[in-house]
Amino acid sequence: MRRILEENILRYWLTLEDPNGGFYGEVLSDGTVLTDAPRGEILHARIVWAFAAAGATLHSEEYLGVASRTGKYFLDHFIDPDWGGVFWSVDADGRPLETKKQLYAQGFAIYGLSELYRATGNNAALEAAKTLFGIIERHFADHSNGGYVEALSRDFSPLEDMSLSAHDINADKTMNSHLHILEAYTNLYSVWPDPSLLEALKDLIVILGTRILGPDGHLQLYFHRNWSVLPGAVSYGHDIETSWLLFEAALATRDPRLISRVREWALALGAAGNEGLLPDGSMRYELLPDGTRDDSRQWWVQAETVVGNLWLWKFHGDEDGLGRAEACWAYIRDNLIRPEGEWHWAILPDGKPDLSQPVAGFWKCPYHNTRMCLQVISLGL
């Protein structure tokens, strides 16, 4: 796992660092690097997280150097100097491009910057993460209904189109953004144990378990402001990912009663997510609202399947969890890993790689796969 992390994932990403700062915005499936492509906030925040976390775990000054350089680029170019918060994207020269304030993006900024502080002691990164926490609580929090609105304009005024991506519908609130704010707050709390952050983290945990977790154990994806549910798919990858991130968040609170409550939710989510397992050990992508199944094997879903099942085995006594994790890892090793570096976006139902999608880009980042490797290493396997 360490060899794949270093030789297949991180070494590949090192080739995409722009000597002038930041990382190139997109690489096509044929290996063509689009040096003039727009640069995503999600891409850069995840790169900061990945190299900071890997540098700390593997004691690599090289990786910590990448994290520090990218963190500086991030603070210089993605933080809005006028209104605060982070931009969605910048152009290849680092100038603001899409300036809307997506909740999801604010979360990943906190996730990456708090990890950079943990790994390097970069106080500017911690201060920026703390400021972003305040912005989320001040501008995005829905104090009447609970939770957070999905997106706002640059000046934090209401925004008509709040959709996160072409794959998502325009909803007031989403599972995906709440999940990754949870992840961000958990990480920030580990380096900044502030009482107001703890309160927000506990509230978010309860929202995930009582509003977003459905009665069948699957996550509901989209909501009106009052938490009435909008139609959405079953996302097996998010189910299994949430099963461990939610329990990790509960452990961070050190609240025994909350941990006990969340354990039940984590087990339900793990079982629901594993409904998507296929005979070859991989995990299908989605069950669509019309009842059809998307049996593509998305890269991030497979990575989270490994981690989620390891947590079910190690923390919840699921004896078969380790075997499921190993089977999915074997599928990743034999199908998804590109010999030239990084992973394919997906393997299609016919067994061929999906070459219509980029190897690197706005959503294809060294995050899920790096984290999978680091989880295996940190769990002592």
Domain containing 252 equals: 2-378
Give residue-wise pLDDT tens across range 78-94. Answer: 999 999 999 999 999 99
Angle (CA) 111-116-120 rounded to 5° is: 160
The answer to whether residue 341 scores a pLDDT higher than 80 is yes
The answer to whether residue 235 scores a pLDDT higher than 80 is yes
Q: Are 192 and 239 in contact (CB under 8 A)?
A: no
For residue 279, what are the β-bridge partners?
none
Give residue-wise pLDDT tens across range 27-66. Answer: 999 999 999 999 999 999 999 999 999 999 999 999 999 9
**Local structure of residue 275 (DSSP, 8 states):** G
pLDDT confidence tier of residue 357, bands split at 50, 70 and 90: very high
**Local structure of residue 167 (DSSP, 8 states):** T
Question: Higher-confidence residue: 348 or 381?
Answer: 348
Q: CATH number for the domain including 280?
A: 1.50.10.10
Map residue 247 onto helix, strand or coil.
helix
Length of the chain: 381
The answer to whether residue 226 scores a pLDDT higher than 70 is yes
For residue 287, what are the β-bridge partners?
234, 293
Sign of the torsion formed by the C-alpha atoms of 307, 312, 313 and 318: negative
Q: What letters, b where the CB count within 10 A reaches 16 and e where it falls short, cover 97-116?
A: eebbbbbbbbbbbbbbbbbb
pTM of the full structure: 0.98
Tell me what pLDDT residue 381 has. 61
How many Å apart are CA 135 and CA 119, to the nearest integer?
A: 24
Give residue-wise pLDDT tens across range 134-160. Answer: 999 999 999 999 999 999 999 999 999
274's CB contacts (< 8 A; 6+ apart) are 236, 240, 309, 324
pLDDT confidence tier of residue 103, bands split at 50, 70 and 90: very high
- Mean pLDDT taken over the chain: 97
Tell me what pLDDT residue 379 has. 86
The helix or strand, by DSSP H or E, that contains position 69, with its residue range, turns out to be: helix 61-77
How many Å apart are CA 54 and CA 256, to the nearest integer?
A: 30
pLDDT confidence tier of residue 239, bands split at 50, 70 and 90: very high
How many Å apart are CA 40 and CA 116, to the nearest integer?
A: 18
Average of pLDDT values for 270-292? 97
Tell me what pLDDT residue 37 has. 98
Interhelix angle 175-191/195-207, rounded to 10 degrees, is 150
Give residue-wise pLDDT tens across range 172-182. Answer: 999 999 999 99
Provide the number of structural domains found in the chain. Answer: 1
What the block records as the tokens of 237 is 């990858």
Tell me what pLDDT residue 380 has. 73
The answer to whether residue 170 scores a pLDDT higher than 90 is yes
Tell me what pLDDT residue 158 has. 96
Tell me what pLDDT residue 166 has. 84
Average of pLDDT values for 319-328? 98
pLDDT above 70 covers a percentage of the chain that reads 100
